[in-house]
């Protein structure tokens, strides 16, 4: 049981660290990022299945698009305003 947990925790740590190191928007010295990595690793039996599912869905979505469609889809990102911004101002 302990070996299985260690294997899951190691796999989760590797996946989360690889994503963290690729992300240029977060500082490597940000304490909240390290708390997230620690929490995701400690809760690996719950977090690893979600991480793997998200990676699998992203891979399937990118493989279903033709190369020309994939480049168009990445260029046509529409930024929308959150709905709570449309609230009337208080008087």
At residue 63, φ and ψ (nearest 5 deg) are -80, -20
Does residue 54 contact residue 19 with C-beta atoms inside 8 Å?
Answer: no
1, two tokens = 């049981």
CA–CA dist 64, 40 (Å, integer):
30
Model pTM? 0.61
Residue with the larger pLDDT of the pair 22 and 70? 22
pLDDT at 33 over 60: yes
Poorest-pLDDT segment among 15-24, 27-36, 82-91: 82-91
Confidence of residue 81 (pLDDT cuts 50, 70, 90): very low
CB atoms within 10 A of CB 48: 20
């Amino acid at each position: 049981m302990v070996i299985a947990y260690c294997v899951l925790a190691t796999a989760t740590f590797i996946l989360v660290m690889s994503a963290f190191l690729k992300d240029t928007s977060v500082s490597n010295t940000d304490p909240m990022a390290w708390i997230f990595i620690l929490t995701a690793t400690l809760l690996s039996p719950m977090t690893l299945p979600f991480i793997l599912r998200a990676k699998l869905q992203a891979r399937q979505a990118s493989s279903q698009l033709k190369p020309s469609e994939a480049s168009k889809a990445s260029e046509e990102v529409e930024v929308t305003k959150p709905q709570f911004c449309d609230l009337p101002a208080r008087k």
